């Protein structure tokens, strides 16, 4: 029963991520277009940190999901006794 619940929860999370993916790509395209337009208007406009900012915003949800998954795994799986 636990395996079924785990599989359903994992499937739900993966499908949810797939559903949000096109919106995220659209936002990145909008950011890029806005920066290119601003750069065309002003020659000294600095865009060096744009990609780093996008990667930073993209990685935070994955770190949070990984941390929740790690602590959930540690809580649900008891420590094994050393067989020595």
Residue 67's alpha-carbon distances to 2, 16, 41, 45, 71, in angstroms, are: 21, 18, 43, 37, 6
More confident position, 62 or 58: 62
Indicate whether 8 belongs to any domain: no
Quick check: is 14 in a domain?
A: no
Domain assignment of residue 35, given as a range? 19-75
Interatomic CA distance for residues 65 and 38, integer angstroms: 35
Rounded distance between C-alpha atoms, residue 70 and residue 22, angstroms? 27
pLDDT band at 2 (very low <50, low <70, confident <90, very high): confident
pTM of the predicted model over 0.75: no
Q: Residue 57 CB: number of other CB atoms within 10 A?
A: 13
Evaluate whether residue 28 is within a structural domain: yes
Share of the chain above pLDDT 90, in %: 15
Residues 3-29 have pLDDT tens digits of 888 888 888 887 777 676 665 555 677
pLDDT at 64 over 70: yes
How many domains does the chain fold into?
1
Residue 81 within a domain: no
């Amino acid at each position: 029963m636990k395996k079924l619940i785990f599989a359903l929860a994992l499937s739900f999370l993966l499908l949810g991520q797939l559903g949000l993916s096109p919106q995220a790509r659209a936002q990145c395209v909008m950011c890029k277009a806005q920066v290119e337009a601003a750069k065309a208007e002003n020659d000294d406009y600095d865009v060096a940190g744009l990609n780093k900012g996008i990667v930073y915003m993209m990685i935070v949800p994955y770190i949070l999901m990984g941390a929740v998954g790690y602590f959930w795994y540690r809580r649900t799986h008891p420590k094994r006794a050393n067989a020595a």
